[in-house]
């Protein structure tokens, strides 16, 4: 009953996130609520990487492939209840982001601060899901497309949050998914074309 009730609540929040007449702050509050719920269900109170990039994931090089590493590890927890619930959060959220209710919602979900919060929320939920998540590869694939789009965004915070999502994919063991994507050359060139020092450090290590 508890799982069903929670899933209904999440479904309603996600539907509201992409609704036509919701103010921007309320949309961002929904994203924050989803991320907070994922942390609580995973048993992790605080995740290490902030939107500011203060604790930065690094991108190292191994031969002709590249991989993200993290300065921190997922803390041990008793039972990660989010691992089996993550698909009920991430998949419908990405779908709703792709298909908002109307033109006003589409504009709101394309606004830079909302895009950054959306990406950050995906990264938080991926990390909360952890390596034990049975759906992690599918979730990583769903998150990869908005993350790749964000790498070329004009807004700095969006680019940082895109790198955060990609780093969380590797942290939970989805390196192979990352290697399947048409993104390696883009990441290879990223430190040389990016103007922001933090983004360059996040990408280059």
Q: Which long-range contacts (CB under 8 A, 24 or more apart) does 182-187 make?
A: 183/144, 183/148, 183/151, 184/65, 184/66, 186/148, 186/151, 187/59, 187/66
Q: Say what the pTM is.
A: 0.83
pLDDT tens, the chain, 205 aa long: 467 888 999 999 999 999 999 999 999 999 999 999 999 999 875 544 444 443 434 444 333 334 444 434 455 546 899 999 999 999 999 999 999 989 999 999 999 999 999 999 999 999 999 999 999 999 999 999 999 999 889 999 999 999 999 989 989 999 888 888 877 777 777 777 777 788 877 776 5
- Write out the two tokens for 131: 């390596």
């Amino acid at each position: 009953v508890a799982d069903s009730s929670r899933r209904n609540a999440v479904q309603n929040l996600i539907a509201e996130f992409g609704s036509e007449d919701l103010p921007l702050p309320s949309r961002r509050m929904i994203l924050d609520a989803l991320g907070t719920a994922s942390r609580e269900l995973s048993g992790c109170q605080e995740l290490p990487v902030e939107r500011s990039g203060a604790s930065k994931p690094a991108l190292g090089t191994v031969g002709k492939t590249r991989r993200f590493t993290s300065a921190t590890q997922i803390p041990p927890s008793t039972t990660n209840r989010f691992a089996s619930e993550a698909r009920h959060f991430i998949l419908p959220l990405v779908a709703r982001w792709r298909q908002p209710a109307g033109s006003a919602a589409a504009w709101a979900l394309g606004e830079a601060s909302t895009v950054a919060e959306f990406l950050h929320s995906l990264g938080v939920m991926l990390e909360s899901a952890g390596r034990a998540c049975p759906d992690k590869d599918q979730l990583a694939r769903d998150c990869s497309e908005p993350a790749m789009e964000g790498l070329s965004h004009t807004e700095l915070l969006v680019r940082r949050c895109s790198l955060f999502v990609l780093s969380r994919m590797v942290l939970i063991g989805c390196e192979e998914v990352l290697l399947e994507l048409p993104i390696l050359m883009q990441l290879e060139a990223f430190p040389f074309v990016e103007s922001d020092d933090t983004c360059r450090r996040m990408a280059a290590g």
